[in-house]
Amino acid sequence: MYKFKGTLVVRKIFGKYGEFAIGSIQTPIGDFSVKQAELDEYEEGTYEGRFVISRIQTVSGGFGTNKLILESRATLDAIHIDEIDEAPVEIVTEADPITEDSNIDFDQVEASTKSNTNEDLHNLFNEREIATIGQGEKVTLDPTNDRGILRQQQNYLKSNSWKFNMQEQAWHLP
C-alpha cells in the first residue's frame, strides 16, 4: 500500500448501459488510469488530494494500427480530497467498466434509471441504509458492492434529489 499526494481527473462517459466515470491519477511516480465504481459518485473535474494505492498493474488496452496498447492502472483504497476544481475535462471514448464484470444484469441497471419505487428501495439498500434515507440523513454507499448494484443505488439517490458531497464521500438531501 502506497500513499501519494496527487491529482485525480474524473471524466463522465455515456456507454451502452448509461453514464459511468473513469479517471486518471497523476502522482510523483507516474500517471495511472483508474476504473473503479467509487468514481461514479464524483462529478467531472480535477481533484487534488492524497490517495492510497493498493495495486498498480499493466492492462492490455487492445490493439491499434500496428501496435499493442498497454495501460498502467492503479487500484485506490482511499481517496482524501483537499481541493475541488470542476473544470470541464476532455471527452474520450472508452469501454464501460461495468461490461468487464460478467455477473451484472444489464437490463436491471438500465431499468434503475427509469424507476424509483419503494420496492426498488428495499431491493437496493439494507435496512440501516433504508432507515437513514427515510430520515433524510447522509447516506454512505458501500463501494465493495457489485458495480451494477452501486450504480443502481446512485441512480436511485440521484432521481430522488440526493447530491453527492465529495469531501465527506456521502450523499445528502439539499
pTM beyond 0.75, yes or no? no
74 in Cβ contact with 33 (< 8 Å): yes
Q: How far is CA 143 from the centre of its chain?
A: 9
Sequential pLDDT tens for the chain (174 residues):
888 899 999 998 887 777 888 899 999 988 998 988 888 888 888 888 888 888 888 887 777 778 888 888 898 888 888 866 555 444 455 555 555 555 555 555 455 545 556 777 788 888 888 888 888 888 888 877 777 788 888 888 888 888 888 778 888 887
Q: How many CB atoms lie within 10 A of CB 67?
A: 8
Q: How long a stretch of residues is the chain?
A: 174
